Amino acid sequence: MKLDITNDEFKNMKTIISTRVKYDRNNKRRRNNRRDEDGKTKRQQDKINKLKKIQQLRNEGKTAVEIAKIIGVSKGLVYKYQKELNKTAP
């Protein structure tokens, strides 16, 4: 016997759920677990931290090559982030 249950009804059920709803619930939980309290992923937070460090070192008068060595990234990435900092600066 097949029950005629719509997807909307499946979403509100506690015990019998479709495979699609199960996957959607798990994906939502996983997506939320990947983010910190500010809603940023680890990659986004790492970028923000690098931008702050580059700005700090730039204010100290360091060159892009020196900054790259200190942070441990390529000088191309430092140039890219400096360009991004220049766009957002008032």
Band of pLDDT at residue 90, cut at 50, 70 and 90: low
Based on the fold, state whether residues 20 and 55 are members of the same structural domain. no
Based on the fold, state whether residues 72 and 53 are members of the same structural domain. yes
Mean pLDDT, rounded, for 2-13? 76
Give backbone dihedrals phi and psi of 35, rounded to 5 degrees, phi first: -110, 150
Q: Which tens digits make up the pLDDT trace of 15-26? A: 777 788 889 989
- As for how many domains the chain has, the answer is 2
With b for 16 or more beta-carbon neighbours within 10 A and e for fewer, the 35-63 pattern comes to eeeeeeeeeeeeeeebeeebeebbeeebe
**CA gap 31, 54 in Å, rounded:** 29
Mean pLDDT, rounded, for 62-89? 91
Q: Residue 56's domain spans which residues?
A: 42-88
| Cβ–Cβ < 8 Å for 68, 77 | yes
